[in-house]
Structures are given as structure tokens and as C-alpha cells.
Amino acid sequence: MMLRRWMAAGLVAVATAGALGAVPATANRPHDPTDRSLRALALRHKLHIGTAVDMAALTDPADPRYRELVREEFSSVTAENEMKWESLEPTRGNYDWGPADAFVAAARRNDQRVRGHVLVWQNQVPKWLTDGVADGSIGTAELREILRHHITTVVSRYRGRIWQWDVVNEAVSDPWDTPSTLHYKGFWAEHLGPGYIADAFRWARAADPGALLFYNDYNIEAFGSGNPADDKTQFVHDMARDLLAQGVPIDGVGSQGHLGTQYGNYDPIQVADALHRFARLGLATAFTEVDVRSRLTDGVQAGDPEEINPRLQASAANFHALLQGCLAEPRCLSFTVWGFTDRHSWVPGWFDDPPEGLATIYDEDYRPKRAYHLIKADLVYAGPPYVLPRVAPKPRR
């Protein structure tokens, strides 16, 4: 998958620093004013700071620091891969719940909320399913029934234990796809038509009345032209509006936030504006997969500080823009990073020509980077009137 990005028109960034300490303690556990972890500082705003969790790292006896930081710094977790369909049902009818159960149990021990990721996506679908459709042994009616069964089975198993479900992920094309006019893309739209989206939300709701149900996508951090034919944020906004008008139980839109320092990206006001526009539809929002990668030039790889420092600063500035935008919108419920350390990040494995990396808030040796300190400062120096406690919607029926 290519996560390309275009230059965003710059607005003047305005700091949202407000009265310090004016927001009451809102943690699940008693508020400790000496606790300077991201999770404690964010809960002053009823915001949950989350991370994607790599279960191999979490269970590696040789990597205790990974476990410590997951526990200490984050109040929400997302399984990076373990709740995806190919992991849960590698062969037809045989669910392997082990890793996903272990993940949910660890979250409970750590007093963390869980973002369930993901019910319907065109990637990481089991091979038995795509092969069956390709060779004609699974027809349209059966495919729809298989999808209903999968959603019902997974959501029922974790009923009451998932805070936000990513029900549908990355259903919308990008301007560089063919045709370039934005459209519903991928396996499910091709075989079931776009109606699968409304179906998926209804089936998920039937299986868990209490979870917040999200649509999740990338490249929707800010609005562009306003034309849904080429502005993906507008397309997703209009999709959510239409789903709501049809009575579909969608509660939120997740903006992934996969950015790169080589692109123009966004400022906090643009980001807040986009989140406000989703909130005006009555939806919650969340940043769900934030990371900000950089080109690993020869100079970066050789350790040249003149090449490394500007990238670390630019990465920090982008984390900061997304977090400030989120803080400014009370219906932005959580801010999740897609891995917190360069030691375990999907980026170098995916972007290798040219190589990219340095995408997270801790380096490979678990030293907090500029980005960590900047988002911590954002959480500390925020309060009324620009930053108010989060308001969580009731799950829609």
C-alpha cells in the first residue's frame, strides 16, 4: 500500500495552551499528580493515549522494556495484527483465538481500553476466502453470509470488552488509483457492492450493543478541495453522513495519521477543523494509527546529525499537529500511535525503496525522541477554553 501525501496549504499554527491544571482528574484509576506518563497526562482531558501492540514483542522475555512502556505510558491498545481475519481464522471454520485472547487479557491487567482492529478490510483476509471467491466455489450470497458470520463471531466473543471497533477499514480509493475519481475500492466492494459497509455496521451492532463502531481510513486528516470526487476526507464525510441518514449505527470515524516528513502535511487548525466537521455529524473521532516516517538518506544512515535532527524535529511537529487538533475537539476520544518504538515499527519493512524509518516516538533503544517530549508538552500545557474534557457519545442503535 502506498500512503502518498500531498502538500497541504499552510495556515498559521496557533498554540492551544491554556490554564494549567484546570481540568479535573478523570483517570480510570485514582489521579496521581506526580504521574507524568502520557496516559496520566492525557486522562486529565479524558483523552486516551494508545499504541498498537506487537504481540511477539509483548511476550518476548528478552524485551521487558517493551512491556513496561506499553503498561506505563498507554491507556488504550490496538492489536497490530492479531485480531485481523487471517490471524483469527487461518483455515475455514477453525478460529485460533489464542493471541487475540492473550492481547485482550493483557489489556485488562494493565487497565487499558481496547480498540478492536479490524472486522472488514481487503488486506489480511484469509487465503481460503480469496481463493474460494477467485475459483468460483464461494458465490456472492455465500460470501455475504461468511462476512456476517465472521463479524458476529468475533464481536460476540469480545462483547463488552472492546471500546471502539474498527468495523470497516480503508474502503475508499485514493486519487492515484484508477479510476482517479474516488470510489469504493477493494475485495468487498468488488464482490458485494458498497452496501457491505452498512451491513457490517448493523451486524457489529447486533453482536455488541455497547461498543463504539468506527470507520477507519488514512489520508483523511484534513479537508482538501471539498469535492468528493477528489477529496478523500470529503468522500468519507459524505459517506458517514449518508450512513447516518439511513439509520446505520456508525459512531465514529478513525483517522489513521500515517504521515511522512517529506510531505507538507497539516497544521493543528486544519486538523481540528476536519475533526469538528465530523463531530457536527454527531460522530466521535479518533487518531488511530499515528506515525511520521522519514527518508533514511545515506546521511541519516551514516549518523549525520545535520540530516537526522531536522527529521526528528519535523516528525515531532507532525505528531504535535495531530494531537493538538485532537485535543481541540472534545469528541476526539483517543490518540493511538502505530507502534511506539523504532525497534518494532512496520515502516522499515514496508518502505524500503527508498528506505524510510524513524517513524515513532521512541528510538530503537527506547529513548524518548523529540516527538515524545513534544506530545507530552501538548498534554501538559492544554486546558480550557480551547481544550475541554472529551465527550463520549452513546453507541448508536
List active site positions: 170, 289
Cell of 319: 505528531
Residue nearer to ligand 9MR on the CB measure, 227 or 350: 350
Q: Which residue is nearest to ligand 9MR (CB)?
A: 346
185, 173 Cβ separation under 8 angstroms: yes
Q: Of 39, 98, 122, which Cα lies nearest the Cα of 74? A: 39
Listed in sequence order, the DSSP H helices in the chain are 38-43, 55-58, 64-73, 85-88, 98-109, 127-134, 140-157, 186-192, 195-207, 232-245, 268-280, 298-301, 305-327, 347-350, 370-380
Tell the smallest beta-carbon distance from residue 253 to ligand 9MR (Å).
14
Residue 365 CB, shortest distance to ligand 9MR, in Å, is: 21
Which is nearer to ligand 9MR, 57 or 274 (by Cβ)?
57
Shortest reach from residue 337's CB to ligand 9MR, in Å? 12
- CA–CA distance, 120 with 103 (Å, rounded to integer): 20
d(CA 51, CA 71): 10
Shortest separation between residue 289's beta carbon and ligand 9MR, angstroms: 5
**Minimum CB distance to ligand 9MR, residue 123 (Å):** 4
- The phi and psi torsions of 77 (rounded to 5 degrees) equal -135, 150
202, 120 contact by CB (below 8 A): no
Widest distance between CA atoms in the chain: 63
80 or 89: whose CB is closer to ligand 9MR? 80
Interface with ligand 9MR by CB under 6 A: which residues?
1, 80-81, 123-124, 169, 256, 289, 346
Q: Which one, 261 or 288, has the nearer CB to ligand 9MR?
A: 288
From the CB of 158, what's the least distance to ligand 9MR, in Å?
17
First to last CA, the chain: 34
Query: What distances in angstroms separate CA 98 from CA 89, 105, 114, 127, one per listed residue?
Result: 11, 11, 16, 20
The residue among 342, 326, 334 whose CA lies nearest residue 270 is 326
Give DSSP secondary structure letters for 137-186. SS-HHHHHHHHHHHHHHHHHHTTTT-SEEEEEES-B--TTSSSSS--B-H
* Closer residue to ligand 9MR, CB minimum distance, 122 or 152: 122
Cβ-based nearer residue to ligand 9MR, 84 or 113: 84
Please state whether beta strands 113-120 and 76-79 pair in parallel, antiparallel, or not at all (unpaired): parallel
